[in-house]
Structure 1
């Protein structure tokens, strides 16, 4: 039997958020303090976020109206465990209401236990280099899943462990702002161990399916010489291979693997940032990232070597120009479809991000969202034409449905939501 669909009817479609980036007022986290320290790389405070803490029910209804059947979000450790071993029933019940609202909209839940932020007290006692960091994280996971696990479909244990290690412990771009090559490698391995404990905690508390979500940039040497190739191989191991092989070789690495892809990076041992600027003429995003759609296809093939079903749990572009977002969506969805045709078991696509939100050290400048937010005017939600394009793909399973849906909305029209 033939079909003109690029994706099957049971394929999952959605978009993602992270608690600190959208909720607002996460004052007990390491990130809140990092944002308010003038010595750090952070450009501004997350402040009120986009007030998703109070608007989650309307936000989920909006996403469901845009054709989503899945949604990825995170719960905030700093709210749930405000002091060591002291758990907030109010915070846990808040997240029960959040997850119940998600189910009421018929959205499959992907719930991240750790999305970059940790409680300030955890950071103060050494963060991920403390000798008992993994055990402390496991304690939080167990408590959170005991209360929330019956409402969760997929558990994302740790978001982008390699970026937590790279940005926080080598580049100093994220908390704790350390630049130490020894700690960088140590933290990466600690986070892999934490993932394994989180998988075990999930097995003990719920029927949810646990998985690790990893950012997999396409890495290439900037020059074809022995030193550069060796440095590329080293970074390839520390940023990509360590995590895929760690999951594959674990006694229980989880039920699935999340692939997060944004860019191609050219590795340069002579660069203080480890990477070279993209070649002249390369399309780049507001983040300065090189757009390279086939990299998603290639990294899906690499991730498939872990032997688990795959979900694209983040993919998107920072741009003020929604026409660029439409192009990006089309090219990257075609890459996912091609990987499936080539035999890769990809079962869902979750766009980053659902809303324009706080983008960590870059603040509110980069615009990743399918839905704009007017933070100066009551946090009004404004779906962009790209959101309707993705809705058409989700409805039909065909990438070819994207542009006609966008055209019917009008790229130049400012669509005002009722939400």
Structure 2
């Protein structure tokens, strides 16, 4: 059932809770027991698109005026942005790190605030930076995946009301058309909006919209997506376009279905982001009685990606799926108290993706979030990077490999885990991982 419009603000906040510490979320009743079979798995096909992800604002540094620099300047963020991991200067070396993994896709974003700092003017030097970035990705043997909106827009658009303003749709499209016209000939994959429900949640968090304005923001995102989809296909007829969905285990249908219904006719592949299992109903935060735990303490169970992919395979049997983001947070790069390592998590996740493929799901790619640590929307404490970077304490911003670098390199070379691999975290009842409606679904037919 689509979301009732009056419920959208709370549900958007629930979606944001999976990426933003301290936002409470609701968890539905647990589902009946269901554990998928765990047969030996086969290697992923040679054409599988292995990749890495990053985003402009979170990694580039040297940030121009935007909704997010305004929020940080207000003093509400935990950490100042500084120059993040300085991807703006170090992008060539970082792209080389991705290529050394064997990656075939490099996901990036073109920051609207950087390329259009004034309503009537474009920054040619900023556009030149993205020209060089896209060219370097291609020269390194990878395909760009370009995100048009990763939650950041110019300060002048904020002054006009941001997503409160109906004119935001056309303002957004002016920039998006510029980017599409400039890069369509390079044959990128396209992401229009990063995790729209969580985008709405972040705008609620930073004061870009009020709760009552969340439905209008969803409407405007859907309008902008549909319009730029048509533009992309005029410029690049064989384009592959999506808006990646931030999967909310335990409340996926309630949070994301309305947007999926709106944009579903105009996506060429289904972009799915997966991080966490549902929270236990015994957690006081799910009762509205306490703030949620920090992001690195949210439940990590890679098996849940199987159910997320199965759900969208059933909704879109005619279209392929791509895991646009997946990863695991640690606290300042410290070992997790449960001993679960980044390489364990990566291998376990690929095992369940390979199980999904064995069950007939058409999955064409996987991006790790993220290549390096970066600014996680107000804080440097959550670390997701294959390469860790201590922004607050290391002025050299050294890229230090985690254990997952060697693991991902091996996985890419081998096409995933071996046939005799068994997950470090054994299979659980679906009831622990997701809601009853998701658990009751059956595998799509090959």
| TM-score with structure 2 setting the length | 0.77
2:299 equivalent to 1:299: no
**Aligned with 2:263 (options 244, 247, 250):** 247
Task: Give the match's secondary structure for 1:265.
Answer: coil
How many Å separate the matches in 1 of 2:199 and 2:358?
33
How many Å separate the matches in 2 of 1:132 and 1:401?
54
**Aligned with 2:274 (options 240, 261, 285):** 261
Q: How does 1:226-237 map to 2 (within 5 A)?
A: 236-237=252-253
Q: Equivalent residue for 1:193?
A: 223
**Aligned with 1:64 (options 99, 104, 125):** 99
Shift of 1:206: 3.1
Q: Which runs of 4+ in 1 moved over 6 A?
A: 270-279
2:324 equivalent to 1:309: no
Deviations 1:29-73 (A, max 9, x none): 1111111212x3x11121111111011111111111122111111
Shift of 1:137: 1.1
Q: How does 1:39-118 map to 2 (within 5 A)?
A: 40=76, 42-118=77-153
Shift of 1:188: 2.1
Question: Contact (CA 8 Å) 2:50, 2:103: kept in 1 or not?
Answer: yes
Stretch of structure 1 that moved more, 90-99 or 190-199: 190-199
How many Å separate the matches in 2 of 1:276 and 1:264?
20
Deviations 1:188-242 (A, max 9, x none): 23212221122122123335322111101211xxxxxxxxxxxxxxx54442212
Shift of 1:287: 3.3
How many Å separate the matches in 1 of 2:218 and 2:296?
24
Deviations 1:119-142 (A, max 9, x none): 111112111121122121111111
Task: Give the match's secondary structure for 2:350.
Answer: helix
Q: Equivalent residue for 1:8?
A: 45
Shift of 1:109: 1.1
How many Å separate the matches in 2 of 1:189 and 1:59?
37
What is the Cα-based RMSD across aligned positions, in Å? 2.7
Question: Contact (CA 8 Å) 1:134, 1:197: kept in 2 or not?
Answer: no
Matched positions, count = 371
**Aligned with 1:218 (options 237, 242, 249):** 249
How many Å separate the matches in 2 of 1:391 and 1:132?
46
Q: Equivalent residue for 1:409?
A: none
Stretch of structure 1 that moved more, 314-323 or 13-22: 314-323
Q: Kindly tell me: are residues 402 and 189 of structure 1, through their superposed partners in 2, closer, same or farther at Cα, counting changes over 3 Å?
A: farther
Q: How does 1:156-175 map to 2 (within 5 A)?
A: 156-169=191-204, 172=205, 175=206
| TM-score with structure 1 setting the length | 0.82
How many Å separate the matches in 1 of 2:144 and 2:183?
12
